[in-house]
Amino acid sequence: MNTLEVKNIKKTFKLSKKQQKIEKTDIKLKIAVNDLSFTAFPGEIYGLLGPNGAGKTTCLRAISTLIKPDEGDILVGGSSVVTDSFEVRKKIGFLTSELKLEDHFTPNYLYTYFSRLHNVEEDVIEERKKVLFERFGIEEFKEVKVGDLSTGMKQKTSIAISLVHNPEYIVFDEPTNGLDVLTARSVTDYLVELKESGKTVILSTHILSVVEKLCDRVGIIINGKMKISDTLENVKKTNSNNDLEEIFFNLVKEDELAGGGF
Amino acid sequence: MKNIVTIFRKEFYRVMSDRRLIFTAILLPGLAIYIMYTFIGSAIGGEIEDITQHKMIIYTENLPTEVQNYIYTQEINPEYHIYDSAEHDELEEMILNGEVDMLIRFEETFEDDIDNLIVTGIQIYSNPGEKYSEYTYNVITNALHSYANVIGIERYGDAYYSFDMSSEIIMDEEKAAGQNFAMLLPMLIVMFLFSGAMSIGPDSIAGEKERGTIATLLVTPVKRSEIAIGKVLSLTVISMMSATSSFIGIMFSLPNLMQGAGDNLDVFIYGAWDILMLFSVLLATVFVIVGLVAALSAYAKSIKEASMLIMPFYFISMALGISTMFSGEASSELWVYFMPIYSSVNLIIAILTFDLSLTAYLITISTSLIYVAIFVYILTKLFQSEKVMFSK
């Protein structure tokens, strides 16, 4: 019941003429994810791997209820993104570069604003804000407008805001993007803490070392399809050298040889 | 409800905490109107003064002393020059160029002709294309007509037939003054309400889509209808503030614009009840306008596209405002009060001319609320549509 279950989801997009030109194709429909399934468990970090355009972000957007799958369903703690997206939104903390913060406001204002939208009690808002702001070093720039912050500062603020409601399910898309080594480390350490406190964490990244260090389970998506999904240990076992990078490249190559389509 | 308040407060704070937005959306409309109207008024006033203060340059041939004296008694004091027929062509050229205002040629026998009851001719050359010449023509011909009357009365005494006209004005002064307002204000009000909504609506919704901040809001457990209502309410309040600023601007600048002709434009003819009714109609109208602007902004991909989509509706609304400008009377047809914006325009006229029908008022207010509910529903649907929210 406390799992995050992606069940055979399919999502197609209509390509505009402009997009057809960019992708150099005549095909009007693009299948972004096709029959994708995996399950993430509490107390674990599930790493979603895949090259650019493989369908990772589409999958994460579907989990976050920003888009609805054409087929299949995603159950977040038993709530369906198709029929009960409102409940799903209460349970998840979502971070992706697509979610921007308004330049005009300060991290302090936005934290309180999103906490209220998540129906967090006023005293809890302040308490949790103090912890998260200290943790990610936001305290010193909390009254600076987002528009005047550096990329790293913005990313830290976004992370804190995605966690205002202390969600049970955390979906982070490339969380260490734009962060320096020290801050990136504080983020990955925090993800481990979240996992240890029993949260279900999904992490999408293309940094294989991060996956190896943090993830308990791994799923590799190529061309919208889940090529492999298992514990990190079992995935590694599929290669004689136990080398995740090699496994990843072999799968990409295999797919290319097979024509790369659906 | 709590979420609506949270979104409303944030949207309101967004504008109120931005000096640039406070200035452009709230202060500037009133200030710009005041400066513009005062400028237009003083330009018109200055022009009139310029014409009346101008020393008329008149060339005359055989100007009788009696006529000259009579003109002088009419407080007209032109600069006379003697006409020389040898220079006629040059003189015509000078009239054409505006250097001379008029040439007036009397018969040599003018005074004898009058004494002998012979119809005598006066030949006048002027140029209506030149403001001074046109004014001189009007003033001098009026003086000549009245001089002819004077001769008639002197000659025939009571037997000279002339009208003795006296007029009594029977009117409700307040209603007449209201009519002046009714002709001017509806179009301006609709224009102000629209431009108020247009100055912030596209940025608040299409801008959020363009900047990618709407997605951050959409992943929170807030009903799309709450987002729609919160945004519409805050836009309504800010648009009302913008319209109020414009209204104050126009009220202060009207006396300057009308330059004395606006003696009848005294806003104090309206009591608290009229103002209250007017305010409720404005509020209902601004709701409809904001609903429309918000729905179009949600549909558009960018602020620019939103402004383009809103523009035709802005022009239609202005045309509706203009359509009633010349009658200055509210329509008595009931169907009119079911039409969005057009109903408001007519109702504003009815209030301003003290001719308000309760049925029309109730129909306008209730249909406006229905229209805004429809727009909020559309806005909610648009917020729910991933295709609309995330199309690039």
For the stretch B45-80, pLDDT in tens is: 888 888 888 999 999 999 998 888 998 888 888 999
Specify if A138 maps to a domain.
no
The answer to whether B213 faces chain A, any CB pair under 8 Å, is: yes
Considering its fold, how many domains does chain A have in total?
1
- Token digits of residue A87: 């409940």
- In tens, the pLDDT along A39-67 reads 999 999 999 998 888 888 899 999 999 99
Residue B20 contacts residue B30 (beta carbons within 8 Å): no
DSSP string of A9-30, one letter each residue: EEEEEEPPHHHHHHTT---SEE
- Token digits of residue B347: 């109702």
Specify if A252 maps to a domain.
yes
pLDDT (0 to 100) of residue B192: 83
The answer to whether B203 faces chain A, any CB pair under 8 Å, is: no
The answer to whether B319 faces chain A, any CB pair under 8 Å, is: no
Residue A146 contacts residue A105 (beta carbons within 8 Å): yes
Residue B197 contacts residue B314 (beta carbons within 8 Å): no
What is the count of residue pairs from A and B with beta carbons less than 8 Å apart?
62
pLDDT band at B265 (very low <50, low <70, confident <90, very high): low
- Token digits of residue A205: 């990244």
pLDDT (0 to 100) of residue B176: 76
Residues of chain B contacting residue A84, judged by C-beta atoms under 8 Å apart: none
User: Which run of H or of E encompasses B156?
Assistant: helix B131-156
Interface test with B, best of A102, A110, A162 (most B CBs within 10 A): A102
Residue B315 contacts residue B321 (beta carbons within 8 Å): no
Specify if A132 maps to a domain.
no
- Cβ distance A99 to B14 less than 8 Å, yes or no, reads no
The answer to whether A161 faces chain B, any CB pair under 8 Å, is: yes
Residues of chain A contacting residue B218, judged by C-beta atoms under 8 Å apart: 66
- In tens, the pLDDT along B105-135 reads 998 888 888 888 888 889 999 999 999 999 9
- Global ipTM: 0.88
Residues of chain B contacting residue A67, judged by C-beta atoms under 8 Å apart: 386, 390
CATH of the domain at A58: 3.40.50.300
**C-alpha distances in Å from residue B14, one per residue of A167, B22, B180, B263, B383:** 28, 10, 39, 42, 20
Specify if A160 maps to a domain.
no
pLDDT (0 to 100) of residue A262: 46
Specify if A87 maps to a domain.
yes
Specify if A139 maps to a domain.
no
Which range marks the domain in which residue A197 is found? 4-97+168-257
**Residue A40: how many other CB atoms lie within 10 Å:** 26
Topology of domain B54-159, per CATH? D-Maltodextrin-Binding Protein; domain 2 (3.40.190)
Interface test with B, best of A21, A92, A99, A111 (most B CBs within 10 A): A99
Residue intervals in chain B for CATH 3.40.190:
54-159
Share of chain B above pLDDT 70, in %: 96
Residues of chain A contacting residue B6, judged by C-beta atoms under 8 Å apart: 113, 116-117
**C-alpha distances in Å from residue B314, one per residue of A177, B306, B342:** 44, 12, 13
Residue B178 contacts residue B352 (beta carbons within 8 Å): yes
- Token digits of residue B247: 């209204």
Q: Which of A69-73, A111-115, A229-233, A258-262 is predicted with the least confidence, judged by mean pLDDT?
A: A258-262
Specify if A9 maps to a domain.
yes
Per DSSP, which regions of B107-178 are E strands? 122-126
Q: What is the DSSP letter of A47?
A: E
Specify if A50 maps to a domain.
yes
